């Protein structure tokens, strides 16, 4: 027995590590060593049970977690390389190998949400659906839910075609099959497809299931509480023959219900695998007693949970502090001051400190304040980086080189930079391509045959097709060089070079960063580099991927991204009603949603090892508006010491401060009427006198929470007049009672 593998483990941790064959469930609270056990268990399987590392399949929730787990194993066993992956990466790899069975070629593209939106618009235009009335996001959301529940387009269509009660279903019943058909024609998949195709592949092919079962003889899944139905089916199919499946999870940390995750998957494990051994880990090694008490008291308010307490031998520690500020500018400055103090006087290092928030919109102000105070800072925003227009454009070129069928990529860049190929010409090409069963790039090469195209457009399309054809990884030698060639040949950055405009310099810096990422990829992968490999890495990025633990910076990230991580000091910003719990949950008035919000705060709290600070601000600036806030009802449920900063005497009335929702009794109150979040409502009443009753379609308005939007629809009369607005920030569509809506024309 190799000692180092079980060194310093508790008896129950040791039992989990030394377990070899058969199903194993490890359920335990945060910081109890679940992830550590999985890592040690891998090492034990290889060293003591003589299992080949190639027979192991370990799945974590993020790329960062995968990388860390692989590194930990290597520390214990320097010669061993295990492949640790996320579900999406694993599925992508499997589909490259076996995708033909479900109709996709190995060069398939992976579309992100922005690409998806473009694709769905294309499909809805084809079907003559009004994308103003039927917001693409809402259609996509329903398609995504269907996919997560493994409902195929055909099944959806038969089930809901005649749908009378819900006209959305009838729309989706038409759009979903058409969308999926387009995706296959483009040889493209979205994130949900990666899972759904793999689940289908496995459930429908017993031979393949057997073969893969033999390849992956031991399967380990961390954070199992956040798996959805597709992921569940994939795991179940792979483990069918041998049952060597070890999962770890904590139902109290399930925070991806909105993406189709099902807590039941962990709760039903023992039923699905009757031979399962269950191990509970009771001891928390991460946090102080006072942090744990707070976490425990909070989560105890969830009714749908099994009672479990966290115990620790750690010290009592400092009390959890709630820092209250008059406005968000002072809050950001206050956090910076506190951090300086922690570093200068209490011996903490920058990289031991993290700041979490519920929504990304909160990060900018804090980031700026830290920079003003010369505090080094990194924001975990990998996804946002790859969603920037210039990055998406360049990657679209690369995608088109790899997968010439990719229609979304083609349409994104065919006229970028401008080549005189406007929408009308594009539409003519698209239609002609469809009639003749050609990909868009094939059609572009034969543009001369397309009816009604101007000479200029014919020339433009042909040149474009030739240019794309001229790019190849083999010629360029490396992904980074190919990228540079694309930039050069398209003169993509020409307009920004030498500019003093900050937006332009930022774009240039981003392009450089992308080239840098490509270089890193080239170097890391060496001779086996492929365009596909690089594109996959960029498509499946998660927010925390680029976080560098060692470079001495304070880290900012969303509460969702913080899952599984730990920091000596944590701040949770904006613990206010409408943020946490998020107003969406309040609006639904659904206990399940509120409980998920409570779990999210619980996850945040339990990241902290030594010091935990919650903050709230009496006035919150977001989307260019100042809104008076209301305390989060969760604050009443946990133990903390309240500290006031800079009272301004403006809003001191206790009534402003009290939560308007008693979330512990949610089931007893009727569902919230739309938009009755406290802050917005108060604001609406205050400004009611200034609100014009006359809204017009196309009018630009500003909402205190949702930002700038455009009025898309008006209906009803008098007191029931409803105005519908599409907000550009996140393409969300909301309806309001006109007389009460806190909407300001801009």
615 labelled ligand-binding: no
Per-residue DSSP letter, 261: B
Q: 3-class SS at 417? A: coil
Scanning 6-14, 55-63, 403-411, 417-425 for contacts with ligand ATP by CB under 6 A, the matching segment is: 6-14
Residue nearest to ligand ATP (CB): 33
Scanning 397-405, 453-461, 561-569, 591-599 for contacts with Mg ion by CB under 5 A, the matching segment is: 561-569
Binding ligand ATP by CB under 6 A: which of 564, 604, 709, 742? 564
Checking DSSP bridges between strand 707-715 and strand 24-28, what pairing results, if any? unpaired
Scanning 4-12, 167-175, 496-504, 575-583 for contacts with ligand ATP by CB under 6 A, the matching segment is: 4-12
Active site residue 374: no
250 binds, among Mg ion, ligand ATP, none (CB under 5 to 8 A by kind): ligand ATP
Active site residue 253: yes
110 near ligand ATP, judged by CB under 6 A: no
Exposed, middle or buried, 308 (CB in 10 Å: 0-12/13-18/19+)? middle
29 labelled ligand-binding: yes
Buried-state track 144-164, b at ≥16 Cβ within 10 A, e below 16: bbbbbebbebeebbeebeeee
Per-residue DSSP letter, 650: S
DSSP per residue, 219-234:
EEESSGGG-BHHHHHH
378 binds, among ligand ATP, Mg ion, none (CB under 5 to 8 A by kind): none
Q: Which of 607, 611, 702, 705 is catalytic?
A: 607
Binding Mg ion by CB under 5 A: which of 13, 32, 35, 683? 35
Dihedral over alpha carbons 354, 730, 230, 109 (to 10 degrees): -100
Q: Which is nearer to Mg ion, 35 or 66 (CB)?
A: 35
Active site residue 721: no
Scanning 3-11, 141-149, 292-300, 427-435 for contacts with ligand ATP by CB under 6 A, the matching segment is: 3-11
Name which of residues 571 to 610 contact ligand ATP (CB under 6 A): 606
Binding ligand ATP by CB under 6 A: which of 12, 35, 180, 290? 35
Active site residue 96: no
Residue nearest to Mg ion (CB): 35
Q: Which of 672, 559, 569, 679 is nearest to 617 (CA)?
A: 679
Q: Is the dihedral of CA 522, 526, 529, 535 positive or negative?
A: negative
Smallest separation (angstroms) from ligand ATP to the CB of 71: 13
33 labelled ligand-binding: yes
67 labelled ligand-binding: no
618 binds, among ligand ATP, Mg ion, none (CB under 5 to 8 A by kind): none
10 near ligand ATP, judged by CB under 6 A: yes
Helices (DSSP H) in 240-346: which residue ranges? Answer: 264-267, 269-272, 289-299, 328-346
> How far, in Å, CA of 35 to CA of 612, rounded?
22
30 binds, among Mg ion, ligand ATP, none (CB under 5 to 8 A by kind): ligand ATP
The β-bridge partners of 722 are 715, 737
Binding Mg ion by CB under 5 A: which of 213, 334, 564, 678? 564
Token match 């008490």: residue?
A: 293
Name which of residues 245 to 274 contact ligand ATP (CB under 6 A): 250, 253
> How far, in Å, CA of 141 to CA of 323, rounded?
37
Token match 């600070």: residue?
A: 613
Active site residue 278: no
Active site residue 115: no
> How far, in Å, CA of 518 to CA of 535, rounded?
10
Instruction: Look up residue 50 and give its two tokens.
Output: 């003589």
Q: Which of 13, 62, 248, 253 is catalytic?
A: 253
200 binds, among ligand ATP, Mg ion, none (CB under 5 to 8 A by kind): none
Q: Is the dihedral of CA 185, 188, 193, 199 positive or negative?
A: positive
> How far, in Å, CA of 173 to CA of 389, rounded?
31
Q: Which is nearer to ligand ATP, 10 or 319 (CB)?
A: 10
243 labelled ligand-binding: no
Smallest separation (angstroms) from ligand ATP to the CB of 531: 35
6 near ligand ATP, judged by CB under 6 A: no
φ and ψ at residue 572, rounded to 5 degrees: -115, 115
513 binds, among ligand ATP, Mg ion, none (CB under 5 to 8 A by kind): none
574 labelled ligand-binding: no
Q: Which residues contact 347 (CB under 8 A, 6 or more apart)?
A: none
72 near ligand ATP, judged by CB under 6 A: no
Smallest separation (angstroms) from Mg ion to the CB of 272: 22
Helices (DSSP H) in 56-107: which residue ranges? Answer: 63-76, 87-98
Q: Which is nearer to ligand ATP, 555 or 733 (CB)?
A: 555
30 labelled ligand-binding: yes
CB atoms within 10 A of CB 673: 11
Smallest separation (angstroms) from ligand ATP to the CB of 6: 10
34 near ligand ATP, judged by CB under 6 A: yes
454 binds, among ligand ATP, Mg ion, none (CB under 5 to 8 A by kind): none
Q: Which H/E stretch holds residue 534?
A: helix 531-539
Q: Which of 13, 14, 34, 598 is catalytic?
A: 34
Tell me the HSE value of 72 on the side-chain side, using a 13 A CA sphere: 19
Q: Which residues contact 244 (CB under 8 A, 6 or more apart)?
A: 21, 22, 23, 217, 218, 219
Residues contributing to the annotated binding site: 28-35
List residues with catalytic annotation: 34-35, 222-223, 253, 607
Residues contributing to the annotated binding site for ATP: 28-35
Chain residues binding ligand ATP by CB under 6 A are 8-10, 13, 28, 30-36, 250, 253, 285-286, 564, 566, 606
Chain residues binding Mg ion by CB under 5 A are 34-35, 564
């Amino acid at each position: 027995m190799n000692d180092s593998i079980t060194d310093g483990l508790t008896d129950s941790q040791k039992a989990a590590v030394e377990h070899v064959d058969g199903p194993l469930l490890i359920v335990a609270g945060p910081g109890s060593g679940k992830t550590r056990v999985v890592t040690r268990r891998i090492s034990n399987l290889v060293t003591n049970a003589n299992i080949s590392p190639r027979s192991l399949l370990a799945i974590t929730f993020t790329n960062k977690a995968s990388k860390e787990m692989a590194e930990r194993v290597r520390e214990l066993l320097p010669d061993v390389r295990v492949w640790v992956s996320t579900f999406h990466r694993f599925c992508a790899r499997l589909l490259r190998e076996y995708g033909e069975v479900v109709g996709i070629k190995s060069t398939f593209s992976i579309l992100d949400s922005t690409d998806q939106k473009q694709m769905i618009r294309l499909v809805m235009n084809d079907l003559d659906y009004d994308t103003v009335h039927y917001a693409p996001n809402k259609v996509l959301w329903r398609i995504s839910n269907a996919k997560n529940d493994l409902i195929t387009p055909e099944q959806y269509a038969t089930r809901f075609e005649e749908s009378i009660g819900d006209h959305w279903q009838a729309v989706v019943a038409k759009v979903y099959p058409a969308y999926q058909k387009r995706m296959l024609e483009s040889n493209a998949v979205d994130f949900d497809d990666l899972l759904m195709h793999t689940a289908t592949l496995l459930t429908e092919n017993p031979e393949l299931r057997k073969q893969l079962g033999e390849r992956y003889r031991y399967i380990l899944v961390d954070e199992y509480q956040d798996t959805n139905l597709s992921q569940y089916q994939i795991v179940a199919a792979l483990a069918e023959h041998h049952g060597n499946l070890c999962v770890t999870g904590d139902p109290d940390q399930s925070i991806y219900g909105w993406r189709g995750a099902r807590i039941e998957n962990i709760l039903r494990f023992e039923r699905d695998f009757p031979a399962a051994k269950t191990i509970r880990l009771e001891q928390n090694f991460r946090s102080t007693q006072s942090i744990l008490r707070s976490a425990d008291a909070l989560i105890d308010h969830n009714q749908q949970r099994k009672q479990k307490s966290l115990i620790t031998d750690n010290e009592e520690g400092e009390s959890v502090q709630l820092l209250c500020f008059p406005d968000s500018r002072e809050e950001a400055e206050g956090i910076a001051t506190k951090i300086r103090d922690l570093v200068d006087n209490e011996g903490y290092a920058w990289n031991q400190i993290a700041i979490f928030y519920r929504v990304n919109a909160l990060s900018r102000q804090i980031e700026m304040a830290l920079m003003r105070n010369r505090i080094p800072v990194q924001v975990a925003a990998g996804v946002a980086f790859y969603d920037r227009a210039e990055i998406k454009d360049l990657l679209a070129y690369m995608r088109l080189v790899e997968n010439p069928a990719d229609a979304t990529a083609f349409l994104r860049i065919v006229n970028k930079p401008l080549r005189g190929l406007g929408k009308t010409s594009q539409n003519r090409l698209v239609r002609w391509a469809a009639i003749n069963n050609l990909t868009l790039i094939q059609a572009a090469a034969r543009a001369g045959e397309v009816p009604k195209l101007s000479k200029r457009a014919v020339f433009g399309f042909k040149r474009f097709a030739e240019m794309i054809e001229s790019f190849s990884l083999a010629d360029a030698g490396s992904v980074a060089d190919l990228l540079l060639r694309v930039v050069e040949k398209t003169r993509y950055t020409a307009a920004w070079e030498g500019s003093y405009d900050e937006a332009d310099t930022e774009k240039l810096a981003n392009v450089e960063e992308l080239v840098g990422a490509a270089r890193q990829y080239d170097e890391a992968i060496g001779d086996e580099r492929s365009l596909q490999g690089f594109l996959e890495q960029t498509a499946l990025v998660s927010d925390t991927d680029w976080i560098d633990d060692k470079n001495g910076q304070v880290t900012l990230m969303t509460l969702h991204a913080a899952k599984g991580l730990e920091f000596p000091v944590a701040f949770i910003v904006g613990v206010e009603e409408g943020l946490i719990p998020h107003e969406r949950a309040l609006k639904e008035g659904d206990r399940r949603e509120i409980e998920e919000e409570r779990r999210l705060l619980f996850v945040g709290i339990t990241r902290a090892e030594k010091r935990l600070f919650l903050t709230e601000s009496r006035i919150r600036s977001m989307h260019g508006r100042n809104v008076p806030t209301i305390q989060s009802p969760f604050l009443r449920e946990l133990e903390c010491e309240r500290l006031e900063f800079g009272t301004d005497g403006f809003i001191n009335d206790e009534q402003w401060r009290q939560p308007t929702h008693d979330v512990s009794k949610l089931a007893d109150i009727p569902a919230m009427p739309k938009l009755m979040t406290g802050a917005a409502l108060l604001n609406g009443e205050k400004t009611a006198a200034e609100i014009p009753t006359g809204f017009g379609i196309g009018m630009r308005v500003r909402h205190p929470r949702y930002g700038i939007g455009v009025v898309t629809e008006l209906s009803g009369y008098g007191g029931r007049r409803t105005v519908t607005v599409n907000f550009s920030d996140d393409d969300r569509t909301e309806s309001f009672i006109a007389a009460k809506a806190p909407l300001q024309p801009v």
